[in-house]
Structure 1
């Protein structure tokens, strides 16, 4: 289905690096325009200059309530409509619960859970009015398995799995597809908090995958016929054996 995404307008959060950047490039390659949302203004400007006119920068700090609430209205001043919202921005906390702080927990839940819910809340009326749209959220394999080595992160992703699958059912009558992608470990800045020994072992064993593998999954999900929803795609490095 080579022309399905031609001239579509996508919004991707966390678009300046990692999975967000890889998906931005993939959707641009399919003919879509992409509003790249990130708090990194300089990074967005540099990328937009490199990626071309269909890459549209949107500076938003999802951890700032006012900035987060303004995101969708500001985007709709730049583009006529939103066909795809990909909520990808997130952060990571690994290790035992006793090793983190209340402040870090608040930050993670605000970004991984609250910001996603608020972004979806903001775009849903627009998509319902148009009777079409796609909402995709980056979840994680940790949202399907009690990953005892990262309970805070895992808890945030279990919450998102519940939210996404509830919203999927709510949006069926409105022609809006809602789905999630659940990657295993991806080689990106998100793993900067991993214990060094765990990261070393994962790299040596081939238990990490590139962001482009997740982007490929997103493209596959978005290019199915409107009568089909890929409700969740779990994408793992072949040598990942912890779940």
Structure 2
């Protein structure tokens, strides 16, 4: 443990699995107090038992407007401060648009876009008052390239790329850094909706990365001197063809 984040309080949405869990573990190992946000209470309780008291559970359903609105105030009651907000929670829709239901589109856009905007909006007054903070969003390589087999997902990540890069300019004067990490395909539950043939080929070709490799990128971004902002870090499997 290097202690690079001693005394810091980090909040990570979607913290009970995948990239979120890997980032929780990485920040804890570097001395931070980490609030893991998830709707899965049982998973959060298991994490707390395994990772210790520096891992703080926050049960929030980001798709429930009242629960989403209460997230930042509830965390501040528990921790008193938020130094880092990592908006990581998200969902995935792949395949042809004609095969996607309107309800699934609403759910994904609400989680991938609306919840991120609301979480960032909620934390701005706290960070601005302190004159410091870091906001990171888990985006995707799909936010930089139009992926033909995932038009709804790609659209949501393009929206987030725009949101991050415009908000970054607004918040810089308040001492708040804003950036995004944009992974290629990551071995996680989100890939369950991938077309089976695409997933099979990716596994066979080594065109997938582990959540911990994305967490490494997040820690690199957060540990830069305050005069340096990594506005977008694209993390790809070396054999991912796009």
| TM-score for the superposition, normalised by structure 1 | 0.98
Q: Classify the secondary structure of the residue corresponding to 1:86.
A: strand
User: What is the match of residue 176 of structure 2?
Assistant: 176
Q: Kindly provide the CA deviation profile for residues 108-145 of structure 1, in whole angstroms up to 9, marking residues without a partner as x.
A: 00000000000000000100000000000000000000
User: What is the match of residue 166 of structure 1?
Assistant: 166
C-alpha separation in 1, matches of 2:49 and 2:123: 27
C-alpha separation in 2, matches of 1:103 and 1:31: 41
Q: Classify the secondary structure of the residue corresponding to 1:35.
A: strand
Q: Kindly provide the CA deviation profile for residues 40-84 of structure 1, in whole angstroms up to 9, marking residues without a partner as x.
A: 000000111100110000000000000000000000110010000
Residue 3 of structure 1: CA displacement? 3.9
Q: Classify the secondary structure of the residue corresponding to 1:81.
A: coil
| TM-score for the superposition, normalised by structure 2 | 0.99
User: What is the match of residue 120 of structure 2?
Assistant: 120
Q: Kindly provide the CA deviation profile for residues 156-215 of structure 1, in whole angstroms up to 9, marking residues without a partner as x.
A: 000000000001000111100000000000000011111111111100000000000000
Confirm whether residue 13 of structure 1 aligns to residue 13 of structure 2.
yes
User: What is the match of residue 131 of structure 1?
Assistant: 131
Q: Classify the secondary structure of the residue corresponding to 1:221.
A: helix
Aligned residues: 242
Extract unaligned runs of 5+ from structure 2.
Answer: none
C-alpha separation in 1, matches of 2:72 and 2:119: 7
Q: Classify the secondary structure of the residue corresponding to 2:86.
A: strand
Equivalent residue runs for 1:202-213 within 5 Å: 202-213=202-213
User: What is the match of residue 149 of structure 1?
Assistant: 149
Q: CA RMSD in A?
A: 0.9
Q: Classify the secondary structure of the residue corresponding to 1:122.
A: helix
C-alpha separation in 1, matches of 2:208 and 2:68: 31
Confirm whether residue 60 of structure 1 aligns to residue 60 of structure 2.
yes
C-alpha separation in 1, matches of 2:10 and 2:24: 9
Confirm whether residue 78 of structure 1 aligns to residue 87 of structure 2.
no
